[in-house]
Amino acid sequence: MTHDALVAVARAVFEAAGGTSIDPDYVLPADIPLELSGEAVRTRLCVFTDNRGAEMAMRPDLTLPVAQREAARLEAGPSAKTYTYAARVFRLPAAQDDPFEFTQVGLERFGYAADPLADAELFALVHRAVEACGVPPKSIVTGDLAIFPAFIDALDLPGVTTNLLKRAFRQEGGVRAVLDAALRPLDADILAALDQPDTDAALGAVLASRGIPQVGARNLGEIAEGLRARHAGIAAGGLPDAARDALLALREVDCPLADAPATLLALVTAHGLTGAAAAIGAFAARVEKILALVPGARRTAGFRAGFGRRFTYYDGFVFEVLADGLAPTQPVAAGGRYDGLISGLSSGRVCATGIGGVVRPDRMVRVRRMGA
């Protein structure tokens, strides 16, 4: 099957579920994707300055521009809405053999009930689209971005420490860094730089004096914000050993999806975190419905507690479908829940639940060729 034929097949699956076809804006204000992209995507954004001097970005996915348009629509009055699309997005390649420009085929739903069945139905729909394209899933990685915050809240830590850990969870490797640094105070020169009126310049000078280059996706203001949060957490008493042990145990959870509810419940019991039981109950209900709708997921789907930060607007169920011949960073399909996105894009003026999923026909063409 050609690329265009796979686009048509996948699109037919999503359109059969209902919805309005959409091809949203190609260009967004750069602050939107920069703020809502994790480290893995931030460095791959296609950013430029327009003729007015404004920093803009080519759309790195379809969820952001679709949600931006939906937020504007909802200002006229709330109503549930489903969109489908087959449109181009732009990212610097994640792997040498990935294209700069590629098509995503998918579906986004806004304003519907956010419950385990809705999550499972979206998962089943994306799974159906992949199979319709003749690509058997090799494995499926799932996560739930509501589990870690539920554990944090159940630990009953000081507010500043709770906020620090939740913020760290949104960054790849962030929790490990916080745990490693929990008992290590900031150096005197760093603290002095944070107290300067021009913090960015002072912190930049400290980094330069230590021979630390300013590379990567975080600017000096964001680095300073993180350092201040870390200092406040230490000042509030740091992280007790019991809390550290519980978070390290959660971080290591990597098991078949069918076993995940029992594994997480055992952690809740072992560490006395009864406050997290409700989140585990909702998670278990979703797993049950996923396995009922997609029985094959019992064999292919796994759960990782730390999975799911490529785009930081996700705040619930997330998943990626992997196929033979491609790297783990090259899923052929992905999706998840982002109930806070509309509120964030509208500065809180409107709110709506959100969930969506996409497939990558360009990658499925390669999988099919390798299997031919």
Q: Are residues 217 and 132 in the same domain?
A: no
Residue 42 lies in a domain: yes
Q: Are residues 210 and 99 in the same domain?
A: no
Residue 269, class by beta-carbon neighbours within 10 Å (0-12 exposed, 13-18 middle, 19+ buried)?
Answer: exposed
Q: How does pLDDT run across 139-190, given as a tens digit for each residue?
A: 999 999 999 999 999 998 887 788 878 877 766 666 766 666 555 666 777 7
Q: Are residues 136 and 162 in the same domain?
A: no
Q: Are residues 68 and 163 in the same domain?
A: no
132, 7 contact by CB (below 8 A): no
pLDDT at residue 238 above 80? Answer: no
**Residue predicted with more confidence, 372 or 145:** 145
Q: Which two tokens stand for residue 99?
A: 């294209």
pLDDT at residue 203 above 90? Answer: no
Q: Are residues 189 and 56 in the same domain?
A: no
Of the three residues 208, 239, 270, the one that is the final residue of a domain is 239
Residue 350 lies in a domain: yes
The amino acid occupying position 72 is: A
Strands (E), the chain: 20-21, 27-29, 47-49, 55-58, 81-90, 101-110, 139-144, 254-256, 301-304, 317-322, 333-337, 354-359
Q: How confident is the model at residue 288 (pLDDT cuts 50, 70, 90)?
A: very high
Q: Are residues 69 and 111 in the same domain?
A: yes
Q: How does pLDDT run across 328-368, given as a tens digit for each residue?
A: 889 999 999 999 999 999 999 999 999 999 999 999 999 99
Residue 80 lies in a domain: yes
When pLDDT is averaged across residues 224-233 and rounded to a whole number, the result is 65
CATH number at residue 45: 3.30.930.10
When pLDDT is averaged across residues 298-309 and rounded to a whole number, the result is 89
When pLDDT is averaged across residues 306-317 and rounded to a whole number, the result is 82
Q: Which domain holds residue 206?
A: 158-239
Q: Are residues 187 and 222 in the same domain?
A: yes
Residue 14 lies in a domain: yes
pLDDT at residue 73 above 60? Answer: yes
Residue 292 lies in a domain: no
Q: Are residues 322 and 348 in the same domain?
A: yes
Q: Are residues 126 and 7 in the same domain?
A: yes
Task: Give the residue carrying structure tokens 């348009």.
Answer: 69
Of the three residues 239, 262, 286, the one that is the final residue of a domain is 239
Of the three residues 217, 239, 261, the one that is the final residue of a domain is 239
Q: Are residues 74 and 181 in the same domain?
A: no
Q: Which two tokens stand for residue 313?
A: 């607007």
Task: Give the residue carrying structure tokens 């957490």.
Answer: 233
User: Could you tell me the pTM of the whole model?
Assistant: 0.84
Residue 255 lies in a domain: no
Per the prediction, the chain carries an average pLDDT of 87
pLDDT at residue 236 above 60? Answer: no
DSSP 3-state percent helix, strand, coil across the chain (nearest 5): 50, 15, 35
Q: Are residues 211 and 331 in the same domain?
A: no
The length of the chain in residues reads 372
Which pLDDT does position 326 carry in this prediction? 92
pLDDT at residue 197 above 70? Answer: yes
202 sits in the region (left: phi over 0; alpha: psi -120 to 50; else beta) called: alpha
Q: Are residues 333 and 205 in the same domain?
A: no
How many independent structural domains does the chain possess?
2
Rounded Cα gap, residues 353 and 349, in angstroms: 14
Instruction: Compute CA 174 distance to the chain's CA centroid, rounded to the nearest angstrom.
Output: 14
The amino acid occupying position 135 is: V
**Number of Cβ within a 10 Å radius of residue 85:** 25
Task: Give the residue carrying structure tokens 């740091």.
Answer: 238
Helix axes 159-169, 220-235, angle to 10 degrees: 140
Residue 244 lies in a domain: no
At 132 the three-state DSSP class reads helix
Residue 35 lies in a domain: yes
